[in-house]
Structure 1
Amino acid sequence: MYTTNEEGILNNYATEPTVYFAEYPSQEQQQRYLFQGAVAVMFVTLLVLTAFGVS
């Protein structure tokens, strides 16, 4: 989408996406998020312990 002023200069506008409300995650998605969070915490803990062990 664009407009042109009286001097012939173009002004471009981005197209706006449609707005929608987010849906609450299902029970399966919630469990997957919990598992991913637990794996991430274990990974970061392992990294920190390794850093302390090496230093």
Structure 2
Amino acid sequence: MYTTTNETGILNNYSKEPKLYYAEFPTKEQQSKYAFQGTVAVLFVTSIILIALGVS
């Protein structure tokens, strides 16, 4: 842990900074998986809304 002291004697503790990395663009396989998951999510939410409207 990195610690500094200012003029008045107050300690400041700094946490260890994580290493940075750049995000990579998803592959075609990952993109198709995300599209499928989005489609399933939309169908699921739509069915829940239709069931709620049908019950009420």
TM-score by length of 2: 0.78
In the TM superposition, 1:26-37 aligns within 5 A as 26-37=27-38
Identity %: 62
1:10 aligns with 11
Structure 1: unaligned runs, 5 residues or longer: none
Superposed CA RMSD in Å reads 1.5
10-19 or 26-35, larger mean C-alpha shift: 10-19
CA drift of 1:17 comes to 1.5
**Structure 2 CA distance for aligned equivalents of residues 47 and 33 of structure 1:** 21
Find runs of 4+ consecutive structure 1 residues off by over 6 angstroms.
Answer: none
Aligned residues: 55
Structure 2: unaligned runs, 5 residues or longer: none
CA drift of 1:22 comes to 0.8
TM-score by length of 1: 0.79
**Structure 2 CA distance for aligned equivalents of residues 48 and 21 of structure 1:** 39
